[in-house]
Amino acid sequence: MPVRKARPAPPTSQFGTTTIFDHAVARPPATVSSPFDACRVGVVLRAVLFVHAVVAVAVSFVVHDLDDWLLTFAYGAGVALPATLAWLVVACALKKPLARLSEPVQWLVAAGLGAACAAYGWWQVGLLGLPFSHQVSQGAPLLAGTALAAALFYALRLRSRSELPAVTQARLTELQARIRPHFLFNTLNTAIALVRIDPARAEAVLEDLSELFRVALIESGSAVTLDEEIDLAQRYLAIEQIRFGERLKVTWELDDAAGGARVPPLLLQPLVENAVRHGIEPSPEGGWVRVRTTVRRGQAIISVTNSLPAAPAAGARGHGMALRNVKERLRLMHDVSAHFASGPERDTWRVQIAVPLA
């Protein structure tokens, strides 16, 4: 497994380390989701199922015998499947330039592309010489392709607008606020105590704290890299390690190849916070936290594992709000391409996440 490079030090000036506002310009601006983003497995599956369901319902209105219905539906599917896949492939390939067009032009392109793809599917059926191709007006597939493409584009537009809907943004704000006030006070007290005996270490604590709150308080867009999330989690655990001392042991097993994966902001921080809060804090003898990333079958696998106290304190069990929040935002961003699992494993608690690399 490749060895991860050390975290670069923040830039300095004549007054020392740069402030929270100096770092804010380093993050790239948020990207806007394209309404033509049909590159996801879940979108493809839903689109294919939707179009075939429409074909099945349409066939039911004109054919009543089961054998004839199955045969006619098979002919219709022979047109619908290649046409739908062609529309999705073209939309995916051209999603960035099409996203820059005005909304009326986008609708025209989506509908026109639907008619063209329907003509392509109809042409393929004609090559086979199936009797079905002589029983339907040539204009019907074009109209059906235009209507279905418009319906698909409308669904994709709704999806692109729901990448960060108001309720999800509110939950992200709530999650950002979960960097608890007493954590801030404990960290500041730790820094004050270190000022006289170890000024350099106190400065490092304040640097980590400023970066942590910079990300929590400044809008960071709809996606960040896994490397950025790991850096934030490292800063958080570095602060907690000063507070807990030998009671907290942290292990990092990181694969650089997984660092470029796109994930929602504040993905790892609430997970490692939960690990410390429920695994280390209630245990008098302390415990350990292990963060591991690896690449498997085109996916970045992230796992956060922590030891559990031998006798959990009363009321120590959480409500699972952070886990539900992370799971929901993963679903919004990656749909069925992401995987989230959490639960106890013997005397540990493990959270595992899988996201696509591309």
pLDDT digits (tens, 9 = 90+) for 229-246: 998 889 888 888 888 888
The neighbouring-strand residues paired with 303 are 292, 352
- Percent residues over pLDDT 90 in the chain: 26
**At residue 114, does pLDDT exceed 80?**
yes
Q: Report pLDDT digits (tens) over 208-221.
A: 777 777 766 554 55
The neighbouring-strand residues paired with 355 are 300
Superfamily (CATH) of domain 12-26+164-356: Histidine kinase-like ATPase, C-terminal domain (3.30.565.10)
Helix, coil or strand: residue 263: strand
- Confirm if 79 and 125 have CB atoms less than 8 A apart: yes
The neighbouring-strand residues paired with 293 are 302
- Confirm if 286 and 260 have CB atoms less than 8 A apart: no
State the average pLDDT for the chain.
78
| pLDDT at 53 (0 to 100) | 92
- Considering 59-68, 109-118, 161-170, the range whose residues carry the highest mean pLDDT is 109-118
| pLDDT at 172 (0 to 100) | 54
Q: Which comes out higher in pLDDT, residue 292 or 95?
A: 292
- Considering 33-37, 79-83, 109-113, 309-313, the range whose residues carry the highest mean pLDDT is 109-113
What residue ranges in the chain does DSSP mark as E strands? Answer: 12-13, 16-17, 224-225, 248-253, 262-263, 287-296, 299-307, 339-345, 348-356
54-82 average pLDDT score: 85
**At residue 269, does pLDDT exceed 50?**
yes
At residue 176 the predicted structure's pLDDT band, cuts being 50, 70 and 90, is: low
Name, in order, each residue with C-beta under 8 angstroms of 121's C-beta and a sequence gap of 6 or more.
78, 79, 80, 81, 82, 83, 86, 141, 145
Which residue type is seen at 205? V
Q: Report pLDDT digits (tens) over 282-310.
A: 888 889 999 999 999 889 999 999 999 87
Q: Decide: pTM greater than 0.85.
A: no
Place of tokens 């867009």: 221
| Surface-to-core class of residue 313, CB atoms within 10 Å of its CB (0-12 exposed, 13-18 middle, 19+ buried) | exposed
- Confirm if 207 and 17 have CB atoms less than 8 A apart: yes
Helix, coil or strand: residue 232: helix
Q: Which comes out higher in pLDDT, residue 172 or 157?
A: 157
φ, ψ for residue 65 (rounded to 5)?
Answer: -80, 135
Q: What angle do CA 93, 141, 45 make, to 5 degrees?
A: 45
Q: Report pLDDT digits (tens) over 4-26.
A: 544 444 433 333 333 333 333 34
Alpha-carbon span 210 to 20, nearest angstrom: 6
Q: Which comes out higher in pLDDT, residue 14 or 141?
A: 141
**At residue 106, does pLDDT exceed 80?**
yes
Alpha-carbon span 52 to 236, nearest angstrom: 49
| pLDDT at 347 (0 to 100) | 87
**At residue 267, does pLDDT exceed 90?**
no
What are the CB-based long-range contacts (under 8 Å, 24+) for 152-158?
A: 152/38, 152/47, 152/50, 152/51, 152/87, 152/110, 152/114, 153/35, 153/36, 153/106, 153/107, 153/110, 153/111, 155/46, 155/50, 156/35, 156/36, 156/37, 156/38, 156/43, 156/91, 157/35
**At residue 180, does pLDDT exceed 80?**
no
With CA atoms as reference, report the closest residue to 186 among 167, 162, 205, 164.
205
With CA atoms as reference, report the closest residue to 43 among 78, 94, 92.
92
123-134 average pLDDT score: 59
Q: Which comes out higher in pLDDT, residue 161 or 166?
A: 161
At residue 199 the predicted structure's pLDDT band, cuts being 50, 70 and 90, is: confident
- Confirm if 326 and 271 have CB atoms less than 8 A apart: yes
Which segments of the chain belong to CATH 3.30.565.10? Answer: 12-26+164-356
Picking from 43-47, 111-115, 137-141, 149-153, which range would have the lowest pLDDT averaged per residue?
137-141
| pLDDT at 159 (0 to 100) | 75
Helix, coil or strand: residue 126: helix
| pLDDT at 30 (0 to 100) | 41
342: left (phi over 0), alpha (psi -120 to 50) or beta: beta
Q: Are strands 262-263 and 224-225 parallel, antiparallel or unpaired?
A: antiparallel
- Considering 117-121, 172-176, 197-201, the range whose residues carry the highest mean pLDDT is 117-121
- Confirm if 350 and 343 have CB atoms less than 8 A apart: yes
